[in-house]
Structure 1
Amino acid sequence: MEQEMASSPVISRPTFLPPATEPSTRKVILQVGEQRFTTTRETLRESTFLATLLSNHWNSTQEDGSYFIDADPALFAPILQYLRRGIYPVFYDRVRGHDYARYAALLQEARFLGIRDLQTWLQERKYLDVVRVEMVLKELVDLKPRQAAGDTECEFYPAWVEKVVYKVPDVTLAQGINHEQVRVLDGMVVEKRVVFDMEKCVRAPRIEP
């Protein structure tokens, strides 16, 4: 019995090692169109597309080690800003207002990259809650130069009007009339103030489980 045990071959079982994982803080270079962006894996993890692209399942790196993404770099820049700091993009100009065409293009990129929170924010047009315009109507008293704050724009609407001007008591016109009608420059001033609510364009902090 002992001889049989001694002569029995020893069968070694293979040892399975877990796949190597990349450090989340490792620098990543993305080639987006003709422009390069440098970031980390941790920053890109919210995007399902980018997380899959950087996984070990795909050998999708270029010869120089970068990852190529066929997209517009001008649209990817605000997306990366959102992934880094949770700042939602707001494309607003005082003269032209919101850039709706750019919002629509960015929404398609958010869908393609699988960034659900940014996609929802754009679909629900939350950017309209960030910027509001307050208007105040005032009477134009004189034509003296006025100063306005940097976020306020004034529009003048002058007009000639007739007003009754009374004379001093010791000056009386013909037929006992002590007043006369004169034409004066009058009008209205419309003050437009742009109010930017910065709290509404920043994502609320997330509580990790």
Structure 2
Amino acid sequence: METEAHSPSERVVLRVGESQYFTTVGTLVEKSQYFKSYFSGAWPIEKEEDGSIFIEGDPHAFDYVMQYLRRGTFPLAFDVQRGHNYSMYSRVLEEAKYFQCPLLVAWLEDACYNKCVTWRVKTTIQEATELASSGNGSTRDPKFSPYSKCAEKVYECPRGILGHRGGEACGRKCRKAQGNDPREFDTESTIEKWIVARTEYLPHLGWMTDSGRDFLAHLATRPTLDMNPGLCERAFTSRRMKALLCYLLLF
């Protein structure tokens, strides 16, 4: 039995697994063909006793789908030390296909997450006293290579105690053992300068949302893209790229 289409401002509660999502019809239908059909009024919607709507899906992956539906942000899962979470991307892709989110599907299928973060290796020469042992949140721990060495004389304890090497730890017994004998030194090679290589990661915001300039330009290179014209128009108008929209709809 056909019913009236739901108002975009209508508030709804979705239940996916044990998770609940409080949102509006407008948020759900803007970027999802699944929800656009679901709330079109073509059939009645069954609700749970508490008024929520049960949706079959992976609750962990659906979190990322919901974030996308709300703000158009893609699910970048990147850590400087571990890299990308490809398992998560795979799960979200299946949910994006099920809920028919064409731009999210395109971003995941084309591995656009690899474009969101790039890196470069920056090398510097530093004095040993200037070295930093770690980077910040956008760099990996640096790697060190010797650059230049210097010879240095090091005092040897007259009692042969390695822990006294350098003379700072020698006490009364050592001085007594030294007596009037000349002090003995050993020549030791030390590194005075290091080559420091740091890997820096650079974020590219144009790939992180469905209205990002880089992502929209990428869509023009796709041979096919199954999307509804209304959704595309909203995304492309935000960047004044109606010409690009027309190009896509022709192919």
TM-score by length of 1: 0.73
Which residue of the partner structure matches residue 93 of structure 2?
107
Per the alignment, do residues 28 and 189 of structure 1 end up closer, same or farther by CA in structure 2, a change over 3 Å counting? same
Which residue of the partner structure matches residue 156 of structure 2?
none
Per the alignment, do residues 157 and 84 of structure 1 end up closer, same or farther by CA in structure 2, a change over 3 Å counting? same
How far apart, in 1, do the equivalents of 2:4 and 2:97 lie?
30
How far apart, in 2, do the equivalents of 1:74 and 1:30 lie?
14
1:90 and 2:76 correspond: yes
Contact 2:119–2:201 under 8 Å retained in 1: yes
Superposition deviation, residue 162 in structure 1: 5.1
Q: For residues 136-151 of structure 1, what are the structure 2 equivalents within 5 Å?
A: 136-146=122-132, 150-151=137-138
1:49 and 2:34 correspond: yes
Q: Which deviates further from its counterpart, 99-108 or 135-144? A: 135-144
Note the aligned Cα RMSD (angstroms): 2.8
- Partner AA of 1:207 in structure 2: T
Mark the runs of 5 or more structure 1 residues left unpaired by the alignment: 1-17, 166-180
Which of 8, 16, 22 matches 1:32? 16
How far apart, in 1, do the equivalents of 2:200 and 2:76 lie?
18
Which of 183, 190, 197 matches 1:184? 190
Contact 1:132–1:196 under 8 Å retained in 2: yes
Which residue of the partner structure matches residue 157 of structure 1?
144
Which residue of the partner structure matches residue 23 of structure 1?
7
How many pairs are equivalent? 177
How far apart, in 2, do the equivalents of 1:37 and 1:136 lie?
44
SS at match of 1:143: helix
Contact 2:80–2:137 under 8 Å retained in 1: no
Q: Which deviates further from its counterpart, 57-66 or 139-148? A: 139-148
* Cα deviations by residue, 1:149-174 (Å, 9 ceiling, x for unpaired): 54234423244965589xxxxxxxxx
Of Structure 1 and Structure 2, which has the larger fraction of its residues in helix?
Answer: 2
Q: Which deviates further from its counterpart, 147-156 or 95-104? A: 147-156
Per the alignment, do residues 70 and 63 of structure 1 end up closer, same or farther by CA in structure 2, a change over 3 Å counting? same
- Partner AA of 2:48 in structure 1: Q
How far apart, in 2, do the equivalents of 1:71 and 1:48 lie?
16
- Partner AA of 2:237 in structure 1: I
Which residue of the partner structure matches residue 121 of structure 1?
107
